[in-house]
Structure 1
Amino acid sequence: MIEPRLPKFEWGQQVVAAIDLYNDGSHPEVPEDHLLVPAGGMGEIVQVGHHAEANLPVYMVDFGLAVVGCLEEEIAPEAAR
């Protein structure tokens, strides 16, 4: 059995969106493919989970107007801005 990959970021950490984040259908009140957070948008990690099939950490990031599930390549530490 492969061990789960350890998360690079932690709960409560300030991050920025590394890319534009669009609705993938997980926000039913917003049209699909609508821009949720532009690249550079500031957020805070409010939960760290794990995608079992992909063996990847998944981060719930509160960007103020929306909480978005993000992968590591979609966010960066605030200092990297």
Structure 2
Amino acid sequence: MNVEDLDIGDVIYAANTIIDDGSIPDGLEGEILAEAGTRGVITLIGYVEEEQARSVFLVRFEDKDMNLGSPVGCWVEDLTMEPRLIN
């Protein structure tokens, strides 16, 4: 199974640190949205109109208090199914 096989409601993790690229309404470009290894839940799966073969996942990542944040658009390569071990 891989990320593309997941569905809405499934748990996922940030594969790398996810940073606002300026596309989040009312967001701050350069702000860290999720550190690598942060757990989240998939809330929507769609595609970019210009690239219909490329999936985009809306993910709500947990904060340090385990509260879900606002949805963040992520590409498949931004996500992993395995939690990252922290040394």
- TM-score interval for Structure 1 and Structure 2 normalised by the shorter chain: 0.7 to 0.9
**Stretches of structure 2 lacking an aligned partner (at least 5 in a row):** 62-67
Are 1:34 and 2:34 counterparts? no
Are 1:76 and 2:80 counterparts? yes
CA RMSD of aligned residues (A): 1.4
Aligned length: 73
1:52 to 49, 54, 62: 49
Cα distance change, pair 34–43 in 1 and its aligned pair in 2 (3 A): same
Task: Please give the secondary structure, in 1, of the residue aligned with 2:77.
Answer: helix
**Structure 1: distance between partners of 2:23 and 2:47:** 17
**Residue-by-residue CA offset, 1:34-73 (whole Å, 9 max, x unaligned):** 1111000110000010123222011000112231000111
Deviation at 1:15, TM superposition (A): 0.2
Task: Please give the secondary structure, in 2, of the residue aligned with 1:73.
Answer: helix
